[in-house]
């Protein structure tokens, strides 16, 4: 079996999530290759060897250049803070390695598009390279099932998308530190919760942001104050978008009491509605108006589908029917698709976000922050 060496740029808990995914792929035989954790580099060289050993890497290295120059490394995951992405990805592109970049791609639309254009240079010097962005909620089997149902016309033409992504950790003032609270470093809540914006584009397609608000936790008390992007990194946002025949409503933030990690999407069409939320990530609620109304007693309403069967998206190589998956397993699906694309050389992904798609998400991120 072919062996493919992998490098990581960045540590922290995301490195552990991705390393676990690679280990699962090898154990379950999800692709026709063995992935080897070769080299990892982090911002703190004094801790890199310990991290490398604890998550299964052959070694920790002192610089990005060591990964760029290592011809045996074929795939690299960029897991560092968003501010570092542009320079890191640009350097790795010159080596021709397959790339998986954690979301968001960069801190703004212009630099995201610049990276997208670099994958296919217009001057004839195209790089033969595969690049993807890690919007991992695309890989929840229930979300993928919703996408299939929409494509098959199960709810008719989509008319509305409503999405919210709420957490509460920033209510603890001791945790209000680091790059996620530094606007210069790409720490805005709109960018942090851009997963919900990506899912909106996945189900609706292209749309424009027409209205937005940003909110922040006031210093000294627990009140909220409305701010502009020029005033710093916001804690919460609300936005409305639209295309010619569709409406998109988006909200998110890190200061919502009682919500540790609540992502919910609702896709409404002419003939029905689909609902999913992360707290019940293996279930989809489905309403199809043309299936009801045939009984003497009104039985209209949603039905619930447990997404765990072998013919459901991504489930064939897991366990038996009824054995549900968790958040970390989305990275297993992500890496499986990326590795298969790397083996075949096909940059047209069934599920992964391309650099171009990630740039479109970043365009919406920028628009929300600029309109507020």
Structure tokens at 121: 């240079």
Among 89, 115, 136, where does a domain finish? 136
- 202/287 same-domain check: yes
Q: How far apart are CA 151 and CA 302, in angstroms?
A: 20
pLDDT at 194 over 70: yes
Give me the CATH number covering residue 43. Answer: 3.40.50.720
Over residues 234-292, the pLDDT tens digits come to: 999 999 999 999 999 999 999 999 999 999 999 999 999 999 999 999 999 999 987 66
Query: 């090898």: which residue's tokens?
Result: 26
- The residues, ordered by sequence, that sit 6+ positions from 195 with a Cβ below 8 Å of its Cβ are 103, 135, 136, 137, 165, 263
pLDDT at 355 over 80: yes
Within-domain flag for 301: yes
- 255/209 same-domain check: yes
Over residues 62-113, the pLDDT tens digits come to: 999 999 999 999 999 999 999 999 999 999 998 999 999 999 999 999 999 9
Within-domain flag for 343: no
Within-domain flag for 345: no
Contacts 24+ apart (CB under 8 A), 314-320: 314/139, 314/141, 314/144, 315/141, 317/28, 317/29, 317/30, 318/28
- 226/115 same-domain check: no
* Residue 90 lies in domain: 2-136
- 130/27 same-domain check: yes
- 74/142 same-domain check: no
Within-domain flag for 344: no
Within-domain flag for 40: yes
- 141/131 same-domain check: no
Of 84, 87, 78, 3, the closest CA to residue 37 belongs to 3
User: Looking at the 3D structure of the chain, how many domains does it have?
Assistant: 2
Within-domain flag for 162: yes
pLDDT at 294 over 80: no
Within-domain flag for 303: yes
Q: What is the pLDDT of residue 322?
A: 94
Helix (H, G, I), strand (E, B) or coil at 163: strand
Q: If you compute the radius of gyration of the chain from its CA atoms, what whole number of angstroms results?
A: 21
pLDDT at 125 over 70: no
- 121/180 same-domain check: no
- 122/217 same-domain check: no
- 196/104 same-domain check: no
Helix axes 109-119, 355-371, angle to 10 degrees: 170
Within-domain flag for 342: no
Q: Over the chain, what is the mean pLDDT?
A: 93
Residue bearing the bigger pLDDT, 165 or 347: 165
Q: How far apart are CA 58 and CA 41, in angstroms?
A: 12
Over residues 82-93, the pLDDT tens digits come to: 999 999 999 999
Q: How far apart are CA 69 and CA 65, in angstroms?
A: 6
Q: How confident is the model at residue 39 (pLDDT cuts 50, 70, 90)?
A: very high
Tell me the helices (H) and strands (E) count for the chain, helix number first: 10, 16
Give me the CATH number covering residue 216. Answer: 3.30.360.10
Evaluate if pTM is beyond 0.85: yes
């Amino acid at each position: 079996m072919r062996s493919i060496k992998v490098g990581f740029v960045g540590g922290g808990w995301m490195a552990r999530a991705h390393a676990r995914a690679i280990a699962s792929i090898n154990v379950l035989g999800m692709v026709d290759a063995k992935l080897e954790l070769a080299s990892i580099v982090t911002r703190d060289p004094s801790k890199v060897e310990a991290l490398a050993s604890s998550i299964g890497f052959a070694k920790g290295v002192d610089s990005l250049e060591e990964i760029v120059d290592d011809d045996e490394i074929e795939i690299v995951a960029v897991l560092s803070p968003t501010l570092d992405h542009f320079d890191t990805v640009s350097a790795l592109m010159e080596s021709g390695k397959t790339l998986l970049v954690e979301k968001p791609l960069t801190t703004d639309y212009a630099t995201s598009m610049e990276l997208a254009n670099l994958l296919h240079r217009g001057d004839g010097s195209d790089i033969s390279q595969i690049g993807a962005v890690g919007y991992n909620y695309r890989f929840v089997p229930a979300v993928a099932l919703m996408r299939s149902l929409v494509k098959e016309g199960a709810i008719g033409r989509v008319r509305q998308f409503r999405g919210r992504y709420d957490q509460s950790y920033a209510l603890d003032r001791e945790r209000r530190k680091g790059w996620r609270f530094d606007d210069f470093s790409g720490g805005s809540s709109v960018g942090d919760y851009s997963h919900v914006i990506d899912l909106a584009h996945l189900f609706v397609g292209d749309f424009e942001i027409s209205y937005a608000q940003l909110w922040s936790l006031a210093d000294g008390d627990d009140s909220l104050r409305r701010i502009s992007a020029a005033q710093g990194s916001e804690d919460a946002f609300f936005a409305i978008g639209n295309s010619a025949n569709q409406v998109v409503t988006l909200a998110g933030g890190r200061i919502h009491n009682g919500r540790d990690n609540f992502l919910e999407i609702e896709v409404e069409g002419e003939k029905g509605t689909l609902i999913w939320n992360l707290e019940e990530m293996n279930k989809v609620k489905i309403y199809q108006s043309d299936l009801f109304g045939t009984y003497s007693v009104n039985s209209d309403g949603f039905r619930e589908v447990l997404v765990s069967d072998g013919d459901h998206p991504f489930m064939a190589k897991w366990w038996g029917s009824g054995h549900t998956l968790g958040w970390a397993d989305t990275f297993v699906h992500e890496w499986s698709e990326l590795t298969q694309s790397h083996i075949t050389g096909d940059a047209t992904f069934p599920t992964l976000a391309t650099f171009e798609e990630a740039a479109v998400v970043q365009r919406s991120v920028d628009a929300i922050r600029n309109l507020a």
